[in-house]
Structure 1
């Protein structure tokens, strides 16, 4: 199989990077894992049979690398945990009260998302933060596109239910 690896890298780097960023929430870790993903893909391209999309294959490699890193205990602390977020450092908020409300809403969603069971948490994250299609998510899990749609919908409903219960308290 002859592959123009530079073209493959240019075409899929952003997808893989966003996918890893959605899991790690750390740009440095996402960059590191993405680079390693393409290194592994180059090394093992002969094993790619075309049973899934290239994006799904690369994301599966990236997911495995990230999980290996977590198991080895080399998880890097996201920059957000060390202080302000990257967005806060780059752009001043025009209205402080509005920014506080938005941040609190985002934190509420992240709290609920953190407590979701798998695969809901990962499917929701892959769809919203990783911007993957349902087909790609299904491929990653070895399931059908419809399974990914239903799982994402159920995750959304669980998040909405939890958020509405929190607002009532």
Structure 2
């Protein structure tokens, strides 16, 4: 039992940050992190060892997130409730809508990038991971993560002009 606890403590932050980059929701990330470790412990005997443990865990986490995402409704009433609640708050609704539109536009532009570049940008911006950590998660090196991020950023800037 002590080994499982050490395993969990060693990799929890990496998996949680990775999931948070994709979900943008701490509660969902926490839930999926727990499920990731459950699946990892359950299938540890199948781990071939051809990649780092953190990479293996992030692969499990990614598959669990995709499964969760598909099972959820794409459109919920939460976004409408957020706008109506903020209307009664001190913030200006117009500002919130414009900010929301710019986020939507950014995410739409990110969808034009290839999957690896998009994943590097998500991990860097929303997960606040270092290029070294990103390289480890994606089974590449730090330089590859830097170059991929830079090229993706340049492509987004070109499209924005």
Q: Same fold (TM over 0.5)?
A: yes
Q: State the Cα distance separating 1:95 from its structure 2 match.
A: 1.8
The equivalent residue for 2:33 is 34
Root-mean-square deviation (CA, aligned residues, Å) is: 3.5
The equivalent residue for 1:83 is 77
Contact 1:15 1:55 in 2 (8 A): yes
Post-superposition CA distance 1:69-115 (Å, at most 9, x none): 27xx943235xx31344993776461222222211211110110122
SS class of match (1:157): helix
Residue 93 (structure 2) pairs with residue 99 (structure 1)? no
Where does the alignment leave 5 or more consecutive residues of structure 2 unmatched? Answer: none
TM value normalised by structure 1? 0.69
- 1:87 and 1:153 map into 2 onto residues whose CA distance is 37
Residue 108 (structure 2) pairs with residue 114 (structure 1)? no
Change beyond 3 A, Cα 1:140–1:10: closer
TM value normalised by structure 2? 0.72
Q: State the Cα distance separating 1:44 from its structure 2 match.
A: 4.8
The equivalent residue for 1:63 is 62
The equivalent residue for 2:128 is 131
Change beyond 3 A, Cα 1:75–1:146: farther
Q: State the Cα distance separating 1:11 from its structure 2 match.
A: 6.2
Post-superposition CA distance 1:40-76 (Å, at most 9, x none): 2333557586x64x64443232124335x27xx9432
Where does the alignment leave 5 or more consecutive residues of structure 1 unmatched? Answer: 165-169
- 1:88 and 1:8 map into 2 onto residues whose CA distance is 38
SS class of match (1:100): helix
- 1:85 and 1:56 map into 2 onto residues whose CA distance is 33
The equivalent residue for 2:141 is 144
